Structure 1
Amino acid sequence: MTSLLQMGIFGDSSSPFDECIEKVTAEHLITENWAMILDVCDKVNADPRGPKNALLSIRKRLNHRDPHVVLLALSVLDSCWGNCGPAFRKEVSSASFINELQSKAVHSTRLISEKTRMMILKWVENECKSDPSLSLVSTLYKNLLADGYSFTSNETKKSDNKDIQAEEEEALVKAIALSLQEAEAPKTSRLYQLLDSNNSLPINGITNNNPNWWCGRIGVQQGLFPSSFVTSDLSEVKKEPVVTTATPPSPVPVIDESVLLRCIQMLEDCDPTGETPDPPELAAIEQASRSQGPLINARLAAIDTQINALSEVDMAIRDVLALYDQAVQQAHYQVGGQLVNPLCSVCCCKVIFD
């Protein structure tokens, strides 16, 4: 049992960087300790075999069950990529490690996959452009892009939403100020005599310095009006009754799978040569399918929000389990100062130490 625990995931391979990498990616760390990470980079640069051995230690931490440890290991990997020179980058872009990088880019934990993809994007836009030996990283980026994976993080989306909200608030303030200006301005009436002499539209008079012209505003538009078209007596304006034709209410769009399947089937049955005319109801079916687009996007956004929330809950549960395991082990070691065999948190069997 002891030998199996010592072998671990990567067999009996060990690295002189195991201890320092485990220290900078410890479970109890809340955020990155950049001083310790830069010390690791200095040690890698001082050792001729440092890039290979350090990457082996980082790879072990990338496969840890705690997502926080994986995120810290990704930060160490990114720092070594930028500070340990071409030798370390070639090790990352090797065939033996590129699959590990790909698995983290499509990881089920959103924070891990997003951080990995953002790292790959940064590498491709900088070092990979000038170094052909890093082609495997560039190829991985293209493959992920072709598979539909996004290279933007939620932090960027949140900042964009804040900018949009600020613009909307600024536009609202301008609209309120404009409405206050219109309320204070004297109202007159402009008469359209080109089409119908009885038709009139109220405007806001700004100035009448010239006896032949008025300067006024209608909504947000401002211009000059002949004084013969303007009167200050609003009682003269006669409103013509507006005749409106009743239009049938448009159907409320709903997500209907049968409509989508029918549209796909009709499109597949269409003649691409144009010799056979399209079915007359195809246009209506296409319009009904397109109207479901916003509803489907909203449903997918809601599902994505639920997945992100569940992912955060999963990480919180993993943190609690890690703390529980640590507390159980400490409790067994504190009984009478004697070493007691702790229980495995997975199968509840005793772990025997030599």
Structure 2
Amino acid sequence: MFRAQANQFDDVVVKATDENLTSENWEYILDVCDKVGSSDSGAKDVVAALIKRLAHRNANVQLYTLELANALSQNCGLKMHKELASRSFTDALLRLANDRNTHQQVKAKILERMGEWTEMFAKDADLGIMEQAYMRLKTQNPNLRPPSKPSKTQITDSDRQKEEEELQMALALSIKENATSPSAAKSNAPQAGSNQPAPEQQQQPQAIASGTTAATVSRVRALYDFTPSEPGELAFRKGDIIAVLESVYKDWWKGSLRGQTGIFPLNYVEKLQDPTQEELQREAQMEAEVFAEIKNVEKLLALLSTSSSADARDNEEITSLYHKTVAIRPKLIELIGKYSQKKDDFTQLNEKFIKARRDYEALLEASIALHMVAILRKDLPRSGITHQVQQQQQNRDTATHLRTDLSPS
């Protein structure tokens, strides 16, 4: 019995797609990308390792494998494209997508990635196997396609009343929580000397039931791409975070995204919980890690500007700095996206404020004008009466003088 030759990529691919990871580890992913470029058979071998991981029964492993494949497609050139568009890899994707035991989220991710690769490979006829497999997947799995848009049913008065009641309840609860938060924070503070980490509670997105009001929802995430077919609808891409403004129809809400405002169907989005204190702390920590690497980026640029190509290849310090700085790029891109969204939101908020101020000033001026007209209308009759009384008194005085002058002396 001869043992099958070990694949040089098995270990690094397993490390980058480990089921115990809490999110994609870009340092591990980039290690795989670098290793592919160092071997003539790298693209073929790494795809063979990916196929093994797709056969794993854990959904996290399958999702991480798809993300690793996507990173390889973007970083490793034409050889990698040919291996991803091979019959063996596309068959592995279809096999996983058509397995009734595969998680729905994994199936949706396969469809999404195959669609992206089809678009990426569209200009190369030799990579047409990916498009064929993608079309077959869409035909065999119609449930993975975006749903049909719901009808625009007017909201009833009872629905409006329900939304107002939910809003008042949410406000009351928020006030109560804010009033008790200092003592709660104190009681929840970790004890000194404790080595046990605080448990992290992941808040999962929730589907939005038909007829749900927007009173208690502040953010939603797009599950599918949405292209408007009527004026006033909001365009978005899968994964976009939309700020919820109000209910407009029974199954349509108004929201804002990248400075645009419009209505969107509820069955295209999922509800997001507001970030917890722990999540906000993680975001702050991620920002600190990115800014802490600025000095390494500057040092790397300085070393590269004074080194020859031969020196750079053998310089361990340059190699180490390069890997450190490349590892923060995904975090940097995420932060750019987050702050770009915040900038758009603040810009839109400023525009709304300016419009509200103009509308208020116009209403105020109109109100003052109406008030002045009312005063004038109220005072004019009085002025007329006063003038009439004065005229009558003057006439009486004149008559008195005449009688005095004409009376016999």
Q: Same fold (TM over 0.5)?
A: no
TM-score (norm: length of structure 2): 0.38
Richer in helix (by share): 2
Normalising by the residue count of structure 1, what TM-score does the alignment of the two structures yield? Answer: 0.43
